[in-house]
A and B are shown apart, each in its own frame.
Chain A
Amino acid sequence: MKDPNTEPCAHVPLASPPELSRRKFLARFSLAVGSVGALIVAVPVVGFIVAPFFKRKVEVWRSVGKVQGFKVGETVAVDYEDASPLPWAGVTAKSAAWLRRENADTFIAFSINCTHLGCPVRWLPKANLFMCPCHGGVYYEDGAVAAGPPPLPLPRYPVRVKDGDVQIQTSPLPISK
């Protein structure tokens, strides 16, 4: 009488090693089949969660006001909508920048995010300083670090004048290295 455990299984293609018993095979087979099942589910799940971060971002220019609305030498907060906000983003779709009119047609746009840990810096117009409310970072009017923990100057955003409008290019949150 033949031992069913050593009998070659009809479903196994080609020769299995002789020591592979039916029971061992079934155990490995179940694990393998289970892994395939897990993989089928895992691919879309992980893809859904991670893929958005590999999508190429298209940045856009957003108008923040007419040129004549800004006084030369003044630094003011402007806000604009992110590049491609989700429909349910509500007010979280907004971003802000500190905009200064340097002269007739040059503007500088500073990030509002402190390079220490990202808190929103405030402009003190009479003191000509940016101050951070979180850990006491201070920047000079050109964005250079004046005091406190920030490792880098305030980042600047691309800004241009087009058809009489001041436009800022949307940018990702500046993350300091």
Chain B
Amino acid sequence: MLKRIFHQVRDWVDDRTGLPEMIGKKARHLVPPDAKWWYVFGSATLCAFMVQVVTGIALAFSYIPSSGEAYATLHFISDEAPFGHFLRGLHYYGASAMVLMVGLHMAQVFLAGSYKFPRELNWATGVLLLAFTLAMGFTGQLLRGDQNAVWTVVVAAEQAGRAPFIGQWLGHFILGGATVGGATFTRFFAIHVFIMPSFIFAFVGLHLWLVLRHGISEPPKAGQPVDPKTYRQEYQELIKKKGRPFWPDAAWRDAVFCVAMIGVIAVLALVSGPPQLGKPPDPSIIDATPRPDWYFMWYFAVLALLPHGTEQYVLIYGPLLVGIILMGLPFIFNRGERSLRRRPWAIAIVVMIVVMIATLWLEGVKSPWSPNFKAQPLSASVVGATNGPVFLGGRLFHDKGCINCHLIGDDGGRRGPDLTDVAGRLSKNQMILRIANGAVNMPAYAGNLTPAEMDALLAFLETRKIQRP
């Protein structure tokens, strides 16, 4: 009886809306039979995005997008609201997962040559979605509304300021005014919550439509190059002969992977929690150490390591060039072999990019170029004297800022060379030259030290020698 009513209701809805038929047909579109675990990253990205939408809406229930109050609401969400800490964690690790999955998806599509004819626009819309995802990550970090957020906006504005002609204007546009202030956060809120998500929804729709239109690419086989004249026919034949319905033959893998990913996000959110809030967003607090979230850490390293004078070009034309290369890729290489056996360079490129980003990322985390402001005066045991020129020199080593950039044993910064064994490497005259004249990354101390101070500093440095057997 109940079952009959249920069926009647279902049939009525089917008939009046037509939705189950339409959706069912699309969901059961045929996919190549051997499209297996390598094909889950795209749907995982979408899945992470849905996590972001849902957790983001929940956070918006308590968030005030005002420069003066955002920070307080963040504290409320993190420290007082039930589930708030967990929710922020989900949103943060969800964002991380989305960035990671976009990257994996892109690498997989590139390695499989799936961007070739007729799927050029699948790739191109994907590149745009990558850009939107990064923009979401960036604006999201700002909405945290703490000190780091303020300086991140400033750094972004300064980067935009390097653009030719419109730089100044663009920089102030990002700030929402002449300085960081009341207008800054509301604008980023609108971008993060309305504009970027609209773009993502629209382009995900287009991206999926293109997937349905051209079909999921079959796993590549060496010796079967893509020829635009015959590819479509070959694909149709393959699908007709061997295709499996996406739902449920392939979709179950997407579901399993997606749920596993959400599980990892949830565990990380519970165990590690969201990023700690920094100091209040007061631009007059000078004691700050601005750092980007992990997905931009590698770029932070790029900005520090660029040869001086080149950044003018790299900051603006670098991203532009990357964009052009990514967008142009499927149009330039839209035919030919897809198999990795015939495209060894594809592997090399992906490996190089991964190694490059990983190396830069590690450098960014260590950021040896940043002065160590926490360095304390050297202890007597390290200096090895409690009076006399060596003692004086040891104190000057701290007071004159040497220690901010140089290591003595375990104390100090890492910007310049480790001076633990400097006397083993340099003669006194060489040291004088370096100290007096400085270098590209070292101030000249000629006008900053009295002759007596220079002597004391040298006396100290000359004792910096590791005893060798």
Which residues of A pack against B, CB within 8 Å?
50, 52-53, 57, 77, 79-80, 82-83, 85-96, 112-113, 116-122, 124, 126-129, 131-136, 138, 140, 146-149, 151, 171-173, 175-177
Point out the residues of chain B lying under 8 angstroms from A127, CB to CB: 399-401, 404, 448
Contact of A128 among B159, B169, B173, B448 (CB under 8 A): B448
Instruction: State whether B303 touches A57 (Cβ < 8 A).
Output: no
Instruction: State whether B290 touches A88 (Cβ < 8 A).
Output: no
Question: Which 3 residue pairs are nearest across A and B when measured between Cβ atoms?
Answer: A90-B68, A86-B182, A89-B182
- Chain A nearest CB, measured from B363 CB (Å): 12
Point out the residues of chain A lying under 8 angstroms from B286, CB to CB: 77, 96, 112, 120-122
User: B55-113: which have CB < 8 Å to A?
Assistant: 66-69
Given contacts A89-B68, A91-B280, contact A122 B287 (CB under 8 A): yes
- Chain A nearest CB, measured from B446 CB (Å): 11
Interface majority SS (helix, strand, loop, mixed), chain B: loop
Point out the residues of chain B lying under 8 angstroms from A121, CB to CB: 286
> Within the assembled complex, what's the spacing in Å between the Cα atoms of A83 and B309?
34
> Within the assembled complex, what's the spacing in Å between the Cα atoms of A149 and B301?
12
Since A90-B67, A177-B167 are in contact, a sample of 18 more A-B pairs with Cβ atoms closer than 8 Å, ordered by chain A residue number, is: A52-B183, A53-B169, A88-B68, A88-B69, A88-B182, A91-B281, A95-B284, A96-B284, A113-B158, A116-B303, A117-B158, A127-B399, A133-B289, A133-B290, A134-B155, A147-B440, A151-B308, A151-B312
Residue interface mask B261-296, A partner, CB < 8 A = 1: 000000000000000000011111111111000000
Q: Looking across the interface, which residue of chain B has its beta carbon closest to that of A96?
A: B284
- Chain B nearest CB, measured from A97 CB (Å): 9
Q: Looking across the interface, which residue of chain A has its beta carbon closest to that of B172?
A: A53
Instruction: State whether B179 touches A82 (Cβ < 8 A).
Output: yes
> Within the assembled complex, what's the spacing in Å between the Cα atoms of A91 and B146?
11
Given contacts A146-B444, A175-B157, contact A92 B282 (CB under 8 A): yes
- Chain A nearest CB, measured from B227 CB (Å): 39
Instruction: State whether A131 touches B401 (Cβ < 8 A).
Output: yes
> Within the assembled complex, what's the spacing in Å between the Cα atoms of A96 and B287?
12
> Within the assembled complex, what's the spacing in Å between the Cα atoms of A120 and B312?
20
Contact of A95 among B67, B151, B283, B440 (CB under 8 A): B283
The yes or no answer to B162 lying at the interface (CB within 8 A) is yes
Instruction: State whether A136 touches B179 (Cβ < 8 A).
Output: no
Q: Looking across the interface, which residue of chain A has its beta carbon closest to that of B280?
A: A91
Point out the residues of chain B lying under 8 angstroms from A126, CB to CB: 399-401
The yes or no answer to B442 lying at the interface (CB within 8 A) is yes
Number of A-B residue pairs with CB-CB distance less than 8 Å in the complex they form: 190
Q: Looking across the interface, which residue of chain A has its beta carbon closest to that of B282?
A: A91
Point out the residues of chain A lying under 8 angstroms from B157, CB to CB: 118, 173, 175
Instruction: State whether A134 touches B283 (Cβ < 8 A).
Output: no
> Within the assembled complex, what's the spacing in Å between the Cα atoms of A124 and B439?
19
User: B302-343: which have CB < 8 Å to A?
Assistant: 303-304, 306, 308-309, 311-312
> Within the assembled complex, what's the spacing in Å between the Cα atoms of A50 and B174?
11
Q: Looking across the interface, which residue of chain A has its beta carbon closest to that of B308?
A: A149
Point out the residues of chain A lying under 8 angstroms from B284, CB to CB: 77, 79-80, 91, 94-96
Given contacts A90-B66, A91-B68, A96-B284, contact A147 B443 (CB under 8 A): yes
Instruction: State whether A119 touches B290 (Cβ < 8 A).
Output: yes
Given contacts A92-B281, A118-B157, A147-B441, contact A175 B67 (CB under 8 A): no
Given contacts A91-B280, A133-B371, A175-B171, contact A82 B401 (CB under 8 A): no
Point out the residues of chain A lying under 8 angstroms from B178, CB to CB: 57, 82-83, 171-173
List 25 contacting pairs A-B, 8 Å CB cutoff, sorted by A.
A52-B183, A53-B173, A82-B179, A86-B67, A87-B182, A88-B68, A88-B69, A88-B182, A91-B281, A91-B282, A92-B185, A95-B284, A116-B158, A117-B159, A118-B158, A119-B151, A122-B286, A127-B401, A133-B288, A133-B290, A136-B371, A146-B442, A146-B444, A148-B369, A173-B175
